[in-house]
Amino acid sequence: MLGRRDYVKCLTKPFKLLVNSLRVRSIQFFISSSIMLITITAMLFVGLMLYSRFNKSAEQNAIISTRQVIDQVNLNLDYYLRSMMEISDSLNNLIYYKKDIDEKKLIEQMDVILDTRKDIVSLNIFTKDGRIVVGSPSYKMKKDADLIRQDWFSVPVNEPANLYFSSPHVQNIFESQHSWVVSLSREITFYKDNVKEQGVLLVDMNFSALDQLCQKARLGKKGYIYLVDSSSNIVYHPQQQLINAGLKTENVDEVMKHISGIYFDKFNGQNRLITIQSVNFSRWRIVGIAYIDEIVTTKKEMGVFIGWTFLFGTLFVIFISAFISAKISKPIKELEKSMKMVEEGMLDISISVKGEAEVAKLAGTFKMMLTRIRYLMDQIVLEQESKRKAEFEVLQAQINPHFLYNTLNSVIRMVESGKKEDAIIMITSLSKLFRISISRGKNIITIQEELEHAGHYLTIQSIRYKNKFRFEIEAQKETLQCKTVKLILQPLIENAIYHGIEYMVDEGFIKVSSEVSNGKLLLQVSDNGMGMRQEILENILSIRPEGREGKGVGVKNVHERIQLCYGKDYGLEFLSEVDVGTTVKIWLPYEGEDIAGEVCNAEDLKIS
């Protein structure tokens, strides 16, 4: 038998394993967390699948039960409307086939129908011009009654082959009868004084009978059904008074888009199941409204059950994973000592760990990792050297002796010829150009500074080439404070002038712009110059072109500097067509908010 101390030790052992596994930097923690993550993820996946499947089944059952209720209501309405049609058919046959029947016998027949069908308010026959022929009960028509404008009269006259069921209305053509009715009307042929005439047979049904048929249909505690006609008028609604008072609304417009079927919608903040069926012999539609949170009554119970199961399962997995990870990590701890030596910077050590096959494989993998680290460190050194070389080339490009010499010669010629204002502009632009080029030793400047540098360069070249070309600079304001590697526009503008515009007969045009496109910062240099052939365009980034005035930085250097600083996803993109022009796109990372901003021009950038 276990003693008290052994019993306590057995109880506390799982807790000690759990505490040890919570050491975030230990191998045991990673093993136990992996086991927990996989198991809990599987449990969560299975739980969600069961929960989703249960919800779908519940929704399908709700759809089936809703359809059954709608079908029953439709069947009742079908039976009721069919009986009304049979009454109208019998009267129509009686009038049409028995030409010698007099009004007295016809009224007697109508009275018999009214005595047997208490849901019928009145039966009347009218001429085509709106005069009453016979009716039961015998009501006196109002003098100002205008039958021709009422739907129940005009539709049968215009569509003689169809029966017409009207929306609920107050029958107000008689002086002593103002019942709330639904009218069934049809075009008939009768004989009066042996003369064949066309007219309208009207059967007024008591609306309360229709109300009773629909009232019994319930879709849960809150669900209901209502009827709507083809003109978006509500024929029946259990809360008709609230609708008339403007205290309740229905999404009838959406219902009218569906002839029949089932769909889900969200109305007044509640998810609803909408079921629509067309009513036979009429232009009505039955609309069933069922509330999802009500018909799926066991949804929360299932969720609670799955939640408790997931909680207890998670606790069980935590203790089991802590126990298993402790057993697995025990032989690996010998390897930990060697790893600590690596942490101290001793990357050239020789690791020799004896143990299980898994531990030996782990040691070999660790050796490979150290080799890879040493290789990557060598690569970093090479990249740093390349970066320093690129920075050195940038410093060389900052002050191009040939460009400075030609510019100063141009200034001297301007002064000698009396063009002092052009000389002042050129010297001012040259000084600002060098100021931005130096940038206090910084290699990263703002887009605004880069555009100003390009503007000053274009100003100088425009004057040197005696206005052989025009230029334009535009920038979205949200791009101006973004950062970029400096002096990436000048080499591209230089190529546009020397290789695109210099030999043109017509006036050249260079446009420089900055904007945000597809979440990236886009600089563009476009010209209307000579363009490039396709073979040159395909290889332009694989060679280093020579400038006409000195070595220059070259487009390849610009492309490499951008990728060295920002990665392979950025750099230059060329579009060109011979005798049309060239566009160079410079893609850079954009760290601001990607929003549409205002566009500023060269004057806003303070470029003279």
Q: Over the stretch 557-587, which tens digit does the pLDDT of each residue have?
A: 788 888 878 888 999 999 999 888 999 999 9
Question: Going by DSSP bridges, is the β-strand pair 508-517/224-228 parallel, antiparallel, or unpaired?
Answer: unpaired
Pair 69, 62: CB distance under 8 Å: no
Averaged pLDDT for residues 33-37: 78
pTM for this predicted structure: 0.41
Q: Pick the residue with more confidence: 317 or 598? A: 317
Distance CA 313, CA 347 (A): 44
Q: What is the mean pLDDT of residues 391-398?
A: 54
* 400-601 CATH, one of 2.40.33.20, 3.30.565.10, 3.60.15.10, 3.20.20.70: 3.30.565.10
**Per-residue pLDDT reduced to its tens digit, 182-241:** 888 888 887 777 777 888 888 988 877 777 777 777 777 788 888 888 778 888 888 877
Coil, helix or strand at residue 277:
strand
Among 9-23, 300-314, 477-491, the range scoring the smallest mean pLDDT is 9-23
CA separation for the pair 109, 105 (Å, rounded): 6
Note whether 98-209 and 400-601 share their fold.
no
| Domains of the chain by residue range | 13-97+298-330, 98-209, 218-295, 339-388, 400-601
Nearest to 325 by CA among 100, 26, 114, 76: 26
What H or E segment, with its residue span, contains residue 575? strand 571-577
146-150: long-range contacts, CB 8 A cutoff, minimum separation 24: 147/173
Parallel, antiparallel or unpaired: strands 270-278 and 285-291: antiparallel
Q: Which amino acid is at 387?
A: K
CATH topology (fold) of 218-295: Beta-Lactamase (3.30.450)
**What φ, ψ does residue 154 adopt, rounded to 5°?**
-75, -35
Nearest to 59 by CA among 304, 295, 306, 298: 295
Is the domain 98-209 a CATH 2.40.50.100 member? no
Sheet strands (E) in 444-495: 444-446, 469-476, 483-485
